[in-house]
A and B are shown apart, each in its own frame.
Chain A
């Protein structure tokens, strides 16, 4: 028996659980049935864990305590979040069969809140990619058109939520990996402020950029999940000590007097005019709701992609060195000596995109290139931060498109890394500056969703959500459902 999540948000599910109209076990079973019914088309999950999920749900039902909005609610977790005893691969061959012996902090927090993890979602290998096509395991499809990519790297999580398999999912975002797939799938995706959510247990790509965040169908749901997973963690020196409010409780839909900045660079060359038009319409709607809108400039935007690919690949090249075949994961056979073990294990264990970034990063950090590459990129990062600071002196939020285009066809760009990298131009600066960024659906172009990106001041997720909520309540775009909804 499946369950139609398109008709229920978290608050409604919670109410049904509290009123015993449905049990956690029934909901978990239904969710597993959802995945069984649609994953042939969506290919969103690398693995499911029905035994553990049902055991967890049973415990929750026995306790019967549904105090928390997430208690008994099924969730999909990106396969780069450590789950104790459950295979976590980072979508890489090198971690095939790897079962962590600890839980990521976000997983622990979700479990403490009573959420039930049903499986691990597909992604680009080690989160490196924008279409989920670099996964070693499978190719996920867009929930609205199965010939299109779901975006990436958290494509599995986005597709699972947009395709109605699960009510919410977690992803990670290093250069747009939550917001872009959220945009491509017409759902809500939040990349929180750097330090808002603990990274303990997230398989690191680029430590100074990575953040974990939620995928949901509505802004209110998203705010509720972020409040549950955010907060200080003694395991993560970069996690902020700031208090975490319940973001979902303060959403009013009122944006009167909100000062919105629209960077002209976000509508420049390379942005699909139809996407631009759709986003401008959304901004006009916010203006109609009482916000003021001004055009501003973020002059260093054009250097963001270059700086990002150097910093990200440098950190990644170092972070991924631990996959050496010595202690865990895949180890190549027939090795002659230690160097051979390293070379063969990593050559066979990593895919092309991972190797490409390791090489780029290794080069950028090498003695002869460090100053001209890594150091220069770090300087550009400072300039980008200054750009944002200047705008935020006068404005509350910055809005623009999440991605330059709508979802493209599977296989169209995966062999053209440069094109793929350039598609991150609108999301990357937000990671480099450590800011919160939200993507909400802003309508459709040729039947495919367009994302509206809302960027806030550091730790001001509340205003970002408020803006997104106002637009969402006014547009009611979440009422639109992909065809796959008929399967439930």
Chain B
């Protein structure tokens, strides 16, 4: 891939917020959308005299991501300080892991649009703290909200293995899914839970040195990343073709114009004066601990898809839909575990449940539906207790937390399959419709349709059509 005579090199640094209960270095809660500075304490404010205490859970979440991305977990973690001044960074240093990343030498196998698989190497992963947020009010003041400050992040740094904007897009999508299935984050883009720093350079084919990198930071949409890279690829090629030179710049993606805008030209590297964080003790990670975390790691999307397709007979496309989110995949697994037919359960989740979520704009975990109730309903359908038509009412009910069997009974939604009751009706209908018997004997199929219609009317629609049909045919043949 590339543009004209140039080949493109892209590196991505992705930050994902990890949804631990408390922050990386303080007991304040990690929670999005609260009033500014509600989730803060003296530590988050960088008060004089405060000290950090590292959140073990955040370190374990970092280990999960490292393991999911096939990385080596570092046996020894020392925290480092990255020093810089900014109002959203109250201590004026970020606690990170520059010398001893939680994971190194990982990779992600990315399936590209043409079906080929590309291995993108991951250089390293760091557990570090997120910054707060600055906003600029129309009143002329700037405001600092430190709710997000100290939220644990996992930073995932790729090697420059990505060769096109499309590959970058595929990598980000599949990286998001990989992280999602570690259970450490919902990686909601709109809430800024996953952001990408992108760098891109181009060079003539055959050149053995990379071109000068241009950086774009904190893009929280994969589409924007793709658009920004497409623009940059072209812009850089045009500059080089015109005999110009690419400067080391930080640029910003502008969505309305789908272009990138120069923010600043970098002169040499920033000096963050990294040094070991003296307020935190180093952490030793032994194999036992790694094994424990590995055992707690949820199965990946890929593993689940293979299982659904190969063992449960699910169509590959449906398996894809079921593994869009960890919540959906877990829900499906739990529904199967509760005894539901795999295909019917899959159809409900992909069809009715998804439609419900879209209509009400809710996440699966925010509905009242439980795997047990969905499995219960599927079983009622499978054993003929309710018809698929009746199931529509039951479905509405289980979405509001009702128990399916109890609901079906209470609302007379149980199919009549009792041969004694059905036979009595059949006898009555046949006795009253001798002409239909004649028609049947004369080979008119329509006749059974008419009789079934009469019988359904008598049963107020509750007769089990399959059973009814069988019994009716048997009786007709007897006459």
Contact surface of A with B, Cβ cutoff 8 Å: 80-82, 88, 90, 95, 98, 100-102, 104, 199-204, 206-208, 234-238, 314-315, 317-318, 321-324, 326-328, 338, 342, 362, 365-367, 370, 374
Contacts and interface: CB of A to CB of B under 8 A. Distances in A.
B49 A82 contact: yes
A56 to B, nearest CB: 21
Contacts of B81: 318
Contact of B87 (A102, A236, A326, A374): A326
Interface of B: 42, 45-54, 81, 83, 85, 87, 90-93, 144, 269, 271, 273-275, 278-281
Given A318-B93, A326-B90, A367-B269, A207 B47 contact: no
B51 A199 contact: yes
Main secondary structure of the interface of A (DSSP, over half): loop
B83 A203 contact: no
Contacts of B87: 324, 326, 338
A371 to B, nearest CB: 12
A466 B91 CA distance: 41
A102 B279 contact: no
Contacts of A238: 51, 278-281
Given A90-B48, A235-B53, 15 more contacts: A82-B48, A88-B48, A203-B48, A204-B48, A237-B280, A315-B275, A321-B83, A322-B91, A324-B85, A326-B90, A327-B46, A365-B83, A365-B274, A367-B271, A370-B273
25 contacts: A90-B48, A199-B49, A199-B51, A201-B49, A201-B50, A202-B49, A204-B279, A237-B54, A237-B281, A317-B273, A318-B93, A318-B275, A321-B85, A321-B93, A322-B48, A322-B90, A324-B85, A324-B92, A327-B45, A327-B90, A338-B87, A365-B275, A366-B271, A366-B273, A367-B273
A355 to B, nearest CB: 16
Nearest to A209: B278
Contacts of A366: 271, 273
A328 B91 CA distance: 12
Contacts of B274: 365
Nearest to A81: B49
Contacts of B85: 321, 324, 342
B51 A200 contact: yes
State the 3 A-B residue pairs at the shortest beta-carbon distance, nearest first: A321-B92, A365-B273, A207-B278
Contact of B52 (A237, A367, A374): A237
A235 B49 CA distance: 11
Given A101-B42, A321-B92, A374 B275 contact: yes
Nearest to A210: B278
Given A338-B87, A365-B83, A322 B92 contact: yes
B278 A315 contact: yes
Most buried by A among B51, B91, B92, B280: B51
B49 A203 contact: yes
A102 B91 CA distance: 17
Nearest to B268: A367
A101 B50 CA distance: 11
A204 B49 contact: yes
